C-alpha cells in the first residue's frame, strides 16, 4: 500500500501541485472478485477501511485494493470526485478486472510469474503562463 499516496506526495513536494487540482484515474486492475490474501495480510486492509475486505472470516479473504487506493488518496487530500475508479457510476468504467478479462489484460493474480507487463503513467498539464500547481495548472493521472 502507498504507491498512489507517495506519487501524490511527490507531485505536491517536487512540483508544487495542489491536492485540490490533482485528478486520479485508476485504470484496469485486479478486482476484489479475484484478489485474495492470507488473513494476516488482509487485516492491514481491514484496518484501513472495513469495506476493503468483504469476507474477513474467509481463510483467503478477498481484498478490494481499488477501494484501499481510494481511501488512501482521500486521506492524503485528493477530492473524492477527482478519483475516477470503479466507484464512479456516471461514466463508463475505466477499471475492468485484469484477472477476469484474459483476452484484454495480463494478470499476475491469474497467470502467476509468467504474466506480461502493463503500463501505468502520470502526466501533468500546464496552461499558458502557469506552472504545475499554479492557479492555471491542472494535474491528472496516476
Cell of residue 61, nine digits = 479473504
Q: Is 133 left (phi over 0), alpha (psi -120 to 50) or beta?
A: left
Q: What pLDDT is recorded for position 128?
A: 60
pLDDT at 137: 43
Number of domains in the chain: 1
Q: What is the pLDDT of residue 31?
A: 93
Residue 83's pLDDT is: 93
Strand 83-84 and strand 22-25: the pairing is: parallel
Does this model's pTM top 0.85? My answer is no
Report d(CA 96, CA 111) in Å as an integer. 17
- Domain range holding 104? 3-141
Mean pLDDT per 10-residue segment, the chain (142 residues) = 87 92 90 95 96 96 95 95 85 84 88 78 70 47 50
Residue 75 confidence (pLDDT)? 95
Amino acid at each position: 500500500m502507498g504507491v498512489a499516496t507517495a506519487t501524490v506526495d511527490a507531485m505536491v513536494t517536487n512540483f508544487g501541485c495542489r491536492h485540490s487540482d490533482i485528478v486520479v484515474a485508476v485504470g484496469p486492475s485486479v478486482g476484489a472478485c479475484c484478489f485474495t490474501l492470507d488473513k494476516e495480510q488482509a487485516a492491514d486492509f481491514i484496518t484501513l477501511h472495513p469495506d476493503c475486505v468483504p469476507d474477513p472470516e474467509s481463510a483467503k479473504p478477498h481484498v478490494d485494493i481499488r477501494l484501499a487506493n481510494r481511501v488512501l488518496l482521500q486521506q492524503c487530500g485528493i477530492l473524492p470526485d477527482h478519483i475516477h475508479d470503479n466507484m464512479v457510476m456516471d461514466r463508463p468504467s475505466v477499471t475492468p478486472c485484469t484477472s477476469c478479462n484474459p483476452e484484454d489484460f495480463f494478470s499476475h493474480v491469474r497467470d502467476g510469474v509468467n504474466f506480461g507487463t502493463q503500463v501505468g503513467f502520470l502526466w501533468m498539464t500546464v496552461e499558458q503562463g502557469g506552472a504545475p500547481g499554479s492557479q492555471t495548472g491542472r494535474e491528472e493521472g496516476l
